[in-house]
Amino acid sequence: MENEINDLLTQKNIKISCIIPAYNEGETVENVLKIISSYSPFSEIILVNDGSKDQTRDIFMKYETEYPKIRVISNETNNGKTNAIIKGVANSKGQLLVFIDADLLTLTHDHLDRLITPVLKGEIDMAILSKESDDISPIGWSNFIVSRPLGGERAIWKKDFEKIHFDGDERYGLEVMLNTAYINMNKRIRTIRAPKLLSLYQSQKKQSLITALLRWKGMLHDIHKVTGVKGYVKQAVEVEEDRLRKLYEVKERSRVKAPMMAGILVAGLTLSTITFLLLNTRNRIEKTKGFLKKNSN
């Protein structure tokens, strides 16, 4: 798939800029950089250190020295993800932008292929990776509405991004603002399943439901500020789920949208609940097998 993407980039004379914002991500960012730096379709990689107090900046500088296509931008203070992305985009040269969060544990080239291909081929206007760690988190049963539309791993055209007005003070509102702007421009957004893609926070073993909800406090504030609860639920339905493509096709052909949107909401929540149960059951079975194997030796 990587070779196919490179061929398409050559045919269409398109370059891809990858932008990675990071704040105190020293524990995980090197895992991400090892994959990103070896991914040939990226023409440039822009690393935005957003005022980190740990070793994030040092790791960034090391990779900038080793890889000519990597550039580092550093903020003296922490200004939030939205500001970091805007600064990265302003310094980018590619027509196609890829945003990647720095807290991923198991990113692969296959995940990047899945993210980029449908946008590059013109099937959709923006792609979002739907991580497996969101499916198995304590609130994973509601992933269709909660985490899926807010994925940080995105492929988006720079010309479209530059049409969007950002106030600059939205620390967590970037993803919601992108979704809102694209829906208002009648552009298609789709979440793409990313099997075995885990992020640090959602994968922490001791994360409780209360901890998960507290983490959402700041995000929910910005979400409410940008679109309101009702608007966000509508947005969650409008952002296509790749496993429900047929339903979205029917919705587009339907003259009356409301019943179809309600049907998609029910189908999406049912699907995310089933996925949540299956993945957590699988994980428990794997842990049990590992325990039995360990104790039999």
Q: What is the pLDDT of residues 8-54, one digit of tens each?
A: 999 999 999 999 999 999 989 999 999 999 999 999 999 999 999 99
Tell me which amino acid residue 247 is: L
What is each CA distance from 229 to 150, 176, 224, 284, in whole angstroms?
14, 11, 6, 34
Q: Pick 201 or 271 by higher pLDDT.
A: 271
Per-residue model confidence (pLDDT) at position 232: 82
Domains of the chain: 2-243 (3.90.550.10)
Q: Which residue do the tokens 């099937």 mark?
A: 123
Per-residue model confidence (pLDDT) at position 131: 92
Instruction: Say how far apart CA 75 and CA 57 lie, in whole Å.
Output: 10
Task: Read off the pLDDT of each residue in 77-105 and give the average, rounded to a whole number.
Answer: 95
Task: Read off the pLDDT of each residue in 141-170 and give the average, rounded to a whole number.
Answer: 86
Task: Read off the pLDDT of each residue in 63-80 and give the average, rounded to a whole number.
Answer: 94
In this structure, of 76-80, 111-115, 235-239, 282-286, the range with the lowest mean pLDDT score is: 282-286
pLDDT(142) > 80: no
Tell me which amino acid residue 93 is: K
Q: DSSP characters for 182-245? A: HHHTT--EEEEEETT--BHHHH-TT--HHHHHHHHHHHHHHHHHHTHHHHHHHHHHHSEEGGGH
The pLDDT confidence band at residue 204, using thresholds 50, 70 and 90, is: low
Residues 6 or more apart whose Cβ sits within 8 Å of residue 188: 123, 124, 125, 126, 182, 240
The pLDDT confidence band at residue 172, using thresholds 50, 70 and 90, is: low
Per-residue model confidence (pLDDT) at position 205: 45
pLDDT(84) > 50: yes
